[in-house]
Amino acid sequence: MFFFTRLVLYFFFLGVVVVSSVYADFDLINQKYLKLKQRSLDHEESIKVLLSRPKITPTKFVLPEPKVVSTELTDPLIDTQTSFISPSVIGYENTGGTEDQNSEALSPEIDFDDLVNDPIGVTENSLDVNGSASNDELLSAYDDFYAQPKLTRSVGYYFGPLFGFIFPQNGAVFNESSPKTEYKAETGTTLGLQFGRDFGKVRWDAEYNYMGFDGETDFEISAHNFISHLNFDFEIGDRADLRTGLGLGVGFMNFDGNTDDHDGVGFIYDFVLGAGYRITPLWTLNLDYRYYSSAANDSYDQLKSHMLILNANFDL
């Protein structure tokens, strides 16, 4: 009994340390979630404003016909021979003939390749800069933003309630008047809360549950269980997974009869085999089978039960 008491206290203080260590991170995670949600809402409003604008009508510019630049130049000095009589100069004998004037000296040769092109006649086709490509990109971004997100398992903290049915085995209690009083167990129920963290392939959680059932010999049996589970997950798709695990903890038992009551605290454990399915980005449904057993006491026999539990986890 002393060993079980020390083991119970060990698991209790271990749970307190773990919960206190993760509680400090909860506020920071919540703040990051609120900031991310606000940014998503702002982005959604920006998309709505862009899509509410009317479609831009393409403008087609009509340009005038290019002007024809004439390359034929006329110069009265070109191809014209001018004859004149040089005036008489003292000391210079005029031969009386005429001198042909050099046309290149009078008018330099024109380089037509060096002429500047008419900017009006450079482009014949108008350029449409108001196409619909920008609108298509906006529509594509809008569709991507509002597309159904891919539902996958979330790594982090979670919290949720649980409910289930228990199928206990028959047991017995011990007292001074009679060495052994047996009872036949009936089907009962269990309720509880669960808090844990998903590390990807491994899941840890701390759980409280209340289980109760009746015995046919005027017995009411109940237990308050504080238990910690270590589960190993195996993904079978984007939304579904299978898991198996082991739970250890402490249970507070009560056997209420017509003549006397029996109370006790003892070590408990269970084996888990279950499956989970993500229904939304934040909610997951889990269905577990558990085999539950408690330690025996001087006043009562071991409490053993098969359990079928449904729980819903919300990602924090």
Position 3 scores a pLDDT of 57
- Cβ contacts of 130-133, under 8 Å, gap ≥ 24: 130/56, 130/57, 130/58, 130/59, 131/58, 132/55
Top mean-pLDDT range of 14-28, 149-163, 297-311: 297-311
**Around 290, how many Cα atoms within 13 Å sit in the side-chain half-sphere?**
28
Contact call for residues 183 and 172 (beta carbons, < 8 A): yes
Residue 17, pLDDT score: 61
Do 217 and 206 contact (CB within 8 A), yes or no?
no
For the chain, report the end-to-end CA distance as a whole number of angstroms.
39
CA 35 to chain centre: 14
Condensed to tens digits (0 to 9), the pLDDT of residues 237-256 reads 888 999 999 999 999 999 88
**Chain center to CA of 187:** 42
* Amino acid (one-letter) located at 293: S
pLDDT, one tens digit per residue, over 264-279 is 999 999 999 999 999 9
Q: How many residues are listed for the chain in this entry?
A: 316
AA identity, residue 29: I
Write the CATH number of the domain with boundaries 153-315: 2.40.160.20
pLDDT tens digits, 88-131: 555 555 554 444 555 555 555 666 555 555 555 544 444 454 45
pLDDT exceeds cutoff 50 at 189:
yes
| Distances in whole angstroms, Cα of residue 128 to Cα of each of 51, 59, 61, 125, 138 | 22, 7, 8, 9, 19
What are the residue ranges of CATH 2.40.160.20 in the chain?
153-315
Distance CA 289, CA 271 (A): 8
Range of lowest pLDDT (107-116, 212-221, 279-288, 303-312)? 107-116
Choose between 122 and 286: higher pLDDT.
Answer: 286
pLDDT digits (tens, 9 = 90+) for 57-67: 777 777 787 77
CA distances from 101 to 79, 89, 98, 160 (A): 10, 20, 9, 112
Q: Which of 148, 214, 229, 224 is nearest to 192 (CA)?
A: 224
Give the pTM. 0.53
The pLDDT assigned to 239 comes to 86
**In sequence order, what are the residues at sequence separation of 6 or more whose Cβ sits closer than 8 angstroms to the Cβ of residue 269?**
227, 246, 247, 248, 249, 292, 293
* Cα–Cα distance measured from residue 124 to residue 121, given in angstroms and rounded to the nearest whole number: 7
